[in-house]
Structure formats: C-alpha cells, structure tokens
Amino acid sequence: MGRKWNNIKEGKAKNDAQKTRVYAKFGVEIFVAAKKGDPNPETNAALKAVLERAKTYNVPRAIIDRALEKAKGGSDETYDELRYEGFGPNGAMLIVDALTNNVNRTFSDVRSAFKKNAGNLGVSGSVAYMFDSVAVFGVEGKSEEEILETLMEADVDVRDIVAEDEQVIVYAEPDQFHAVQEALKNAGIAEFTVAELTMIPQNEVTLEGDAEVSFRKLIDALEDLDDVQQVYHNVDFGDE
C-alpha cells in the first residue's frame, strides 16, 4: 500500500494554529464517542479507538478530560455524523467526514469550499466506492519480520505490512483494529506513530501546476472548517 500512509501524515498539525484546530476537533470526537456509549474506554471500543488516535496527535490530557467530563455530565448537546463526497481536478477525489450540531451550516461551508477551489460536490456514493476502509498502525523500533511474527502468534490477520519512513506500517481490516492494537501492546509496544481507522484510495493520481495548487487549497479550506473531522483523498503528493 506504500505511499497511502502519507495521506495520514499530511493531516498531522505542523504549527500552533493547526494544533489548536485539531485539538478542538478531537474534543468533539471524544465527547460524541463517550456520549454514544459508556465514557469508560475499557467498555467503549469506539471511545478507546479515538483516544488511541488522540495520543498519536499529542492531544493534551486536559482537552481529553474536559470532553469526557462533559459527556459524563449528561450534556444534551447532540452532533450528527455526516459524509460528503466530491471531486477536484484531473480525477482527484475526496471524502469529507464531519461532526456537526448544525447540518445546514456544515453543508453550506463544505459546498462553498469546493466551489471556491475548483472542486465539485458529488452525491452520496459517487466517490466512496473507490476507497477502502482500513485500520492503520505505525510502529517504530521493530522490523517487518518482528511485527509479522507478533501478529501471527496472536492469530491476527492483516492486509499488508510495509517498512516506510523508518517505521513499520500495518494495514488491517477495520474490524481487526482492536485485535491488532492488543497484539502489539501485549508484545511490549506502548506507543504508536499512527493508530487510525481511515479511508485509503484504491488508485492514486498525481497533479501538476495549477491543478495541484488548487487541490491543496481545497484540502486546506476543508480542514480549516470547524465541523470537518477528516478529509481523505486519492492524490499522491510525491514531495511529502
């Protein structure tokens, strides 16, 4: 699966302003996951996955605790989970996942971002079929062979294991997220560089010149929206 891990790397915050936005979005995501089930991650698999992912983004403990306390306090605030699909130039495709307490506002904002940046918002199902839902883990300090042996001993099936960027990336089916996580932790791996349930494209495209510039602006515009949690795409930015 190679460079598809880069789509996750691109989402890592690189400056204080980006970090502030990412942390705020995690606060909402943690609150929603905790409110939908038990606010205890040991009995709430969805919450446990979000918290593991938050660790890889270095989300401050205070933000996590505040979101959990809000959920425990019985807040009546509700959020809808939305997915938008759309197109950029030259075969570029995007999936945009959002959590919102105002559906009309979010739709208007997402539509505007596409329109202003040479994109087109598509209908449901127009793009998603070209992506696969995958669990992804990143591990440092281990070889491909060591990770494979660990997962085989735990009888955990995976889609692929590759060495990349001085780490080992594990791709598995979404329903294997917790099995992979527990197997690696039981083998003494305490930290992950990535622990995601994500969408990866079946095929990638490259963009050049104005098309690449426009597409980068589109991604930035979408990720800057408060309600947008994740942006997935099929463009290979070879310089990253």
Residue ranges of the chain that CATH labels 3.30.70.980: 80-129+202-233, 131-201
SS (H, E, C) the chain: CHHHHHHHHCCCCCCHHHHHHHHHHHHHHHHHHHHHCCCCCCCCHHHHHHHHHHHHCCCCHHHHHHHHHHHHCCCCCCCEEEEEEEECCCCCEEEEEEEECCHHHHHHHHHHHHHHCCCEECCCCCCHHHEEEEEEEEECCCCHHHHHHHHHHCCCCCCEEEEECCEEEEEECHHHHHHHHHHHHHCCCCCCCEEEEEEEECCCECCCHHHHHHHHHHHHHHHCCCCEEEEEECECCCCC
CATH architecture of 80-129+202-233: 2-Layer Sandwich (3.30)
Residue ranges of the chain that CATH labels 1.10.10.200: 2-72
User: What string of pLDDT tens digits covers the 240 residues of the chain?
Assistant: 444 555 566 566 667 778 889 999 999 999 999 998 888 888 998 999 999 999 989 999 999 999 999 998 878 889 999 999 999 999 899 999 999 999 999 999 999 999 999 999 999 999 999 999 999 999 999 999 999 999 999 999 999 999 887 889 999 999 999 999 999 999 999 889 999 999 999 999 999 999 999 999 999 999 999 999 999 999 988 755
What CATH superfamily is the domain 131-201? YebC, transcriptional regulation domain (3.30.70.980)
Class at the top of the CATH hierarchy for domain 2-72: mainly alpha
